[in-house]
Structure 1
Amino acid sequence: MNEISLLITLASVHFIALMSPGPDFALIVQNTSHHGRRTGLTIAAGLSAGILVHSILSITGISYLVQQHPTLFSFVQILGGSYLLYLGIGALKSLYQTQKTATAPNEKKKASRILTNQKQAFSKGFMTNILNPKALVFFISLMSSLVPASMSVTGKVSAVFILWFLALFWFSLLAWLLSTKRLQRKLESSAHYIDGICGVIFTLIGSVILWQAVSHL
């Protein structure tokens, strides 16, 4: 298989993985529904930056070394699981506060404002992706199977660019579509349900990752 075919296959597998529901998807949906298009696009940039770092670490072999070192990999799992659990508890806490202040519109609005600026939004997107050990394992598998060591430097750089660009394109498109006026009105009316679902997703994934990390210590 030539390099172009490998890159096309890489792009296809990665794009399918991007569209599958997970922490990144949930983060975009939750925050776009609360804060609108600009915040959604900023989080998309943060998520894609995390994928860029994962891609570089995987293609240079650093991620593989981390995975092969049990103690270090468990440490990464604990960090990632704890952060996702933190996001989950935060979302559920926000839902509880919103329900508690349902009769006070101003307080309700204040309770839902989890993010305060775009820098924080970018950091949240970046940290959610970069601390996800599942992403680390995924990119190691993807790179090792579809980006052989014999591939040219141009091919490897192209592979990293493709992974970053597709992530930025998909997450930005998702944020854009979710922030159209018609859909935004529907999302705002369902924000408490979105918080609940996203909170459960983050909490479950974070708990599973932490359990796996602790069980391997």
Structure 2
Amino acid sequence: MELFPAVLALTLLSISPGLDTLLTVRNAARGGVTDGVVTSFGICSGLFVHALLSALGISVLLMQSAMLFGALKLVGAAYLIWLGWGSLRQALRGRGQQRAADSVQAVARFRVSHWRCVREGLLSNLLNPKTIIFYMAFLPQFIDPAGAVLPQALLLAGLHFVIAMSWQSLLAVLTCRMRAWVRLPVLRTLCHAVTGLVMVALGVRLALARI
């Protein structure tokens, strides 16, 4: 297995803007660097599940079953819309809390448990059927059929984990370096509103798309 082409492809995939980036930045802006990093950990942990399923051929069964794959697509779309609605609700609440938003107590109300961040990241990754398609198309390009498939698949997932977590953690740090801006009530409300609308739009697009 040639690692350099795989690392290059995984790096380009990781830095491409998408839902993973949006979710990491949103949670970092909401709760700090740690929230962004643990969200990324949840997202990237799902890569091992996709690699395992692909190696075992379960993803092939999903892709060949229109009913199962369609159900997975709708569940993923519903989850994205639910996340987006959560951000929109925070934006609506923020409109009535602009005076208190500068206090420590007001900022603390936006903090959530680390487990919730991990769960949001993991579910957003596992419920995305496009990730299944990517791994089904990606893994065969770099796996040596003469060797054991599962160890190679997990190695690629491990490389993807390191690259994606490094990139998303950097984004979390950069986001929090701008906390002085993010804490401004109007900008924070705008941030929640924009990310909420984008997530809802992604969910609707996923539900309607023919994958």
TM-score between the two structures when normalised by the length of structure 2: 0.87
CA drift at 1:123: 0.7
Aligned residue among 82, 85, 92 for 2:88: 92
Name the structure 1 match of 2:22.
26
Name the structure 1 match of 2:182.
187
Contact 1:98 1:112 in 2 (8 A): no
Contact 2:48 2:154 in 1 (8 A): no
Distance 1:203-1:27 versus aligned 2 partners, 3 A rule: same
Name the structure 2 match of 1:72.
68
CA drift at 1:24: 0.9
Name the structure 1 match of 2:46.
50
Name the structure 2 match of 1:147.
143
Matches within 5 A, 1:76-155: 76-105=72-101, 109=106, 113=110, 116-152=112-148, 154-155=151-152
Q: Which moved more, 1:166-175 or 1:148-157?
A: 148-157
- Counterpart of 1:201 in structure 2: which amino acid? V
Name the structure 1 match of 2:171.
174
The answer on 1:206 being equivalent to 2:200 is no
CA drift at 1:47: 0.8
Contact 1:94 1:112 in 2 (8 A): no
Contact 2:80 2:124 in 1 (8 A): yes
Q: How many residues are aligned here? A: 207
Whole-angstrom distance in 2 between the partners of 1:188 and 1:56: 41
The answer on 1:160 being equivalent to 2:157 is yes
User: Runs of 5+ in structure 2 lacking a partner?
Assistant: none
Whole-angstrom distance in 2 between the partners of 1:21 and 1:75: 26
- Counterpart of 1:140 in structure 2: which amino acid? M
Identity %: 24
Contact 1:87 1:202 in 2 (8 A): yes
Whole-angstrom distance in 2 between the partners of 1:149 and 1:159: 14
Query: 1:7-51 CA deviation, whole Å, 9 max, x = no partner?
Result: 222221122111112111111111101100111111111111112
Distance 1:46-1:192 versus aligned 2 partners, 3 A rule: same
The Cα RMSD (Å) is 2.4
For residue 85 of structure 2, give the secondary structure of its aligned residue in structure 1: helix
Query: 1:85-131 CA deviation, whole Å, 9 max, x = no partner?
Result: 1111111121111113324446x937962x52111111111111111
Whole-angstrom distance in 2 between the partners of 1:69 and 1:149: 25
Whole-angstrom distance in 2 between the partners of 1:36 and 1:138: 31
CA drift at 1:158: 2.3
